[in-house]
Amino acid sequence: MAEPEAKASSPPPNGEEEKMEKGVVLHVQCKDFIKMPDGKLEQWLTEVSPVKLQKVFKLPTWSYAFVTVLPEHKEQFREAINGLQCRNFSITVKDGTPRKAPQEGGLEPSAKRQKIKDFPPGHVPTLKDVKDKLKNKKFGDILHKTSPLIDWSYETQLGMKQVHIKSAVRAFTKQVAQKCRDLNQPPPDWTSHEWSKGSKAPVGCACPLDAAIGTPNESLEGYRNKCEFSIGFDSSGQVECGMVLRITDDGFGRVVASCDEVPFVPQEMKRLCKALRDCARSSKFPVFERGRGWQRGFWRLVMARFSGTELLVMVQTATVSGEEKEELVSEIKAALTQDQVSLPVVSVYLQFNDEVSDAARPGAVLELIYGQPQLRMQLLGLSFDIGPLSFYQANSATCALLYGRALEWLQPEEEVTVLDVCCGVGTIGLCASRRCRKVIGIELVPEAVESAKANAALNQIENTEWMVGKAEDILPKLLQELDPNMRTSAVVDPPRPGLHSTVLRALRSCSQLSRIVYVSCNPDSLVEDVIKLTMPSENDEDPFIPVRAVAVDMFPHTLHCEMILLLERSSKVKDPRKHIAPAEGASGNEETCEA
């Protein structure tokens, strides 16, 4: 499950309006775009497009790009590109929205014309409705930008998230049935109305949904144990350390607002932001700024992790060397560790980043300039030491509930080997390890794998093995070489784009694997992955079947929604239609019903 950024999201692009007015803008989306630098994507699209592209615009975090073509080329482009495969996923092409530069202090003209309607009192919108509404609202306040559900009660927010995952379950149920019909093959039984009725699932859903797991009341404020803050200028031009309120009209600069009002930021982090804001205001080093083709200044980002009692901080600046670096380091240390600041800082890292993007390259210099290298977190009776770069679930209280349910469904028994795919610092696997034969964790980030090994040792756990690399490279061979008699279960917890198709194929074709617990932070990508795990195929008689799902709200007040889905081999799942009570007046006993 990927962690959503604790910062306000960027609006779509802007700029070069002249060119955009002459052409038409198309929204071109594909899961694999997120991994492609925009230059590479432009090169690839230019190669596959039958028409000349006027412009390709994509930011590093986007899984979509805005492509401008001449109006007379629009349909030809759409026809050629829509449905085309890019690496492992297919591309969709929709009409994009050409943008005008926003007018000072107001809404964009197009958004004004569109007339933003507030939701009527008492109406509970879907998460998608709220998201769509936000797209049109350019200049909101930081509270609503970061916490768009804040105006609804928490109970209502949970209801919205429950509806969201119900839609995901309906979507894969319906799509598997439709795909089978398209292929002239009978849809699997679990897509039928009778099956969902027998399993007491909502209409159209293949499996029942448990009541949504929410964040406990006492953790609804300040629940994040990790946040990222930007150092930049606020709307009055003052240096601020907080959250990005909006992107400036040129598409490059960020207007930063204080996070004082943001409910999910813990008080300790709010005080940390103030200390760093004051430090940057009085510093000899200017704040980082960027525009088209230029960048200057130093102070950029702050990442903080909070264990509940202690803080680990990473400050990101542009590169500073020699004596100047020493000055910068002592400014940071003084700001964060002097007695009068009274912040519980136990660890400070400095990272240099000279990219236009805030995402530093994987090899960017990262130096511990104060205190201990890691922060100790407690979870389900175990201790975890984590560094600045490793993934760790950002809401500790709800994470314990999520893992509790995932393990309940996984049933790690003595004879079972558990695969922890995309394991991060090994949290789920280590929590399962005391109940199963062995845990094998696979993770991309080397720092996280080192932490997983160290965390196993820290908790005196010896039945684990950790593998560093891409799951798509490691898993096929690992599963092929598995002892044929080894009972195996898997928990998969991929980042937002979901699992690689090679991983899905390997899981599906491993006969020793009988159960998958899929933890997802993105129900949309889960839908596509579940289709691949469950679609009947001629070569394999025993695909997976969705058995149970639950929404987990790790990020109250935001649009993010996690879910857990249990999948089991179809041969192991009892047919729930057999338990439907016979209609009144119908003859026959239970045996005849089951026949």
Ligand X SMILES: C[S@@+](CC[C@H](N)C(=O)[O-])C[C@H]1O[C@@H](n2cnc3c(N)ncnc32)[C@H](O)[C@@H]1O
Site of interaction with ligand X (CB under 6 A) = 1-2, 391-393, 422-424, 427-428, 442-445, 448, 470-472, 493-495
Q: Give min distance, CB of 560 to ligand X, in A.
A: 12
Of the residues 30, 86, 423, 521, only one is catalytic, namely 521
Q: Give min distance, CB of 264 to ligand X, in A.
A: 18
Q: Is 185 annotated for ligand binding?
A: no
Q: Give min distance, CB of 531 to ligand X, in A.
A: 20
CA distances from 145 to 131, 246, 511 (A): 11, 9, 47
Helix extents (H) in 344-470: 396-410, 427-433, 446-458
The question of whether 279 is a catalytic residue gets the answer: no
CA torsion through residues 35, 223, 152, 241, sign: negative
- Percent helix, percent strand, percent coil in the chain, to nearest 5: 35, 25, 40
**What one-character-per-residue DSSP string does 75-141 give?**
HHHHHHHTT-EETTEE-EEEE----PPPPTTS--HHHHHH-PPPPPTT----HHHHHHHHHH--S--
Q: Is 43 annotated for ligand binding?
A: no
Reduced to 3 states, what is the DSSP secondary structure of residue 557?
A: coil
Reduced to 3 states, what is the DSSP secondary structure of residue 357?
A: coil
CB closer to ligand X, 169 vs 425: 425
**What one-character-per-residue DSSP string does 417-435 give?**
EEEEET-TTTHHHHHHHTT
CB closer to ligand X, 1 vs 8: 1
Tokens of 543: 């695909």
Q: Give min distance, CB of 471 to ligand X, in A.
A: 4
Q: Cα(566)–Cα(545) distance, rounded to whole angstroms?
A: 8
Q: Cα(353)–Cα(388) distance, rounded to whole angstroms?
A: 15
CB closer to ligand X, 443 vs 529: 443
Q: Is 354 annotated for ligand binding?
A: no
Q: Cα(275)–Cα(241) distance, rounded to whole angstroms?
A: 9
User: Closest CB to ligand X belongs to which residue?
Assistant: 424
CB closer to ligand X, 396 vs 417: 396
Q: Give min distance, CB of 464 to ligand X, in A.
A: 14
Strand partners, 370: 348
CB closer to ligand X, 77 vs 384: 384
Contact by Cβ (8 Å): 47, 84: no
Residues with active-site annotation? 521
Binding residues for S-adenosyl-L-methionine: 393, 443, 493
